[in-house]
Amino acid sequence: MYSKFWPKGGHSGILHHYTETLVTFEYTSSTARQPHSILFVGGLGDGLATTSYTADIVRALQPTEWSFFTLNLTSSYQAWGLGHLDRDTDEIAQCIRYIKSYKNAKYGHSKLILMGHSTGSQCVIHYLSRPNPHTFDPPFDSELQHVERLALDGAIMQAPVSDREAIQWVLHHGIGGKSPSQVKAVYEKLQAMAKEAALSDPSSDTMLPISMTSQIGYPANTPLSSRRFLSLTSPESPKSPSDDDLFSSDLTEEQLGKTFGMIKQQGLLKHKLMVLMSGADQSVPDWINKEEVLARWKKATNLNNSVEIWDEEHSGLIPGASHALSNDDQAEPRKFLVGKVLGYLKTLS
């Protein structure tokens, strides 16, 4: 079905190959002078141009010096259940290198911002906080390249949510006509299967039965591996959170210090970090205080730094916003989001 957020006939732009098999699309025209770039990374299930609010950002950027890129990752669309953040970060780093080289050759100088939505926000934190290049070498992914990451001129996160707390909400309320006890029974079976598979053969990964994962809220058409399931649900949290458990409200200050608190030390962010949470995010359980969560992230980001890294002016809640701002009643939240992004860009001028 045609999306009301994109104009009929689409937007003009350029399709770039940043690897032999992966592409990024730049929304721009042949006459525009746009030396600077925003690279957008969507969430689980997203791919090239699937997050509808980006249409508003693209339109707002048309008279500016900023062009907007969206990309495909190996984990895009229905492949997210087979991926992991180290591979995503490798591919994002490759895309950033390509864009910077392309823009610098064309204009002599360029700036680049990495913007993430939902799990794309996990990619932003992963990019900024992990060793450069990352040193972890998962035995089940022999093709990981450990790409050295370039410093970013800015970084934006929108709708960062905890996948672990989202599944805990499902366990608490039930889903798809199943009671909480029924959902919990399936969840516990999946957890046992995933742990056994991960322990039995560290050099490989296995698929969990879709007939079971679909009973606890995951899409019925999406394969989910044992390792990604354990990373998303993070059964050892909050004591020992998995790679994907970056935004849970019960993480300790020590754990937040290993993610948000490492941004300054890694030196990969030249400007400030802008964080926007959706005020009416349906992926966030109702027992979580979003303002308190943002305050804890801000504290961890700025702790022991002489210069504040957290962008206080442009970060905060988007009033009334759903997770991806895609509902029919989201015109005002989308306008609010665009205003914050444009305001942030002005601070980089």
Q: Over the stretch 186-239, which tens digit does the pLDDT of each residue have?
A: 999 999 999 999 888 877 889 999 999 999 999 999 999 999 999 999 999 999
Q: Give per-residue pLDDT as tens, 245-294.
A: 999 999 999 999 999 999 999 999 999 999 999 999 999 999 999 999 99
At 184, is the secondary structure helix, strand, or coil? Answer: helix
Dihedral sign from CA coordinates of 211, 185, 289, 291: negative
Q: Tokens for 193? A: 């299967």
- pLDDT (0 to 100) of residue 5: 63
Tokens 């979580």, residue?
A: 288
- pLDDT (0 to 100) of residue 334: 97
At 137, is the secondary structure helix, strand, or coil? Answer: coil
- State the pairing for strand pair 13-17/66-71: unpaired
- pLDDT (0 to 100) of residue 1: 36
Which mean pLDDT values do the consecutive 10-residue runs of the chain (349 residues) have? 58 93 93 95 94 94 96 96 94 98 95 97 97 77 85 98 96 93 97 92 88 95 95 95 96 96 96 97 94 97 89 97 93 97 94
Q: Which domains does the chain have, with CATH numbers?
A: 13-162+248-348 (3.40.50.1820), 165-233 (no CATH)
Q: Where are the alpha helices (DSSP H) in 119-250?
A: 119-129, 163-173, 180-200, 210-213, 226-233
- pLDDT (0 to 100) of residue 293: 97
Sheet containing strand 316-318, strands side by side: 13-17, 23-27, 66-71, 36-41, 112-117, 154-158, 273-278, 316-318
Distance CA 335, CA 82 (A): 35
- pLDDT (0 to 100) of residue 135: 76
- Report the amino acid identity of residue 78: Q
Phi/psi for 105 (5° steps) reads -65, -35
Q: Return the H-helix or E-strand segment holding 41.
A: strand 36-41
- Report the amino acid identity of residue 220: A
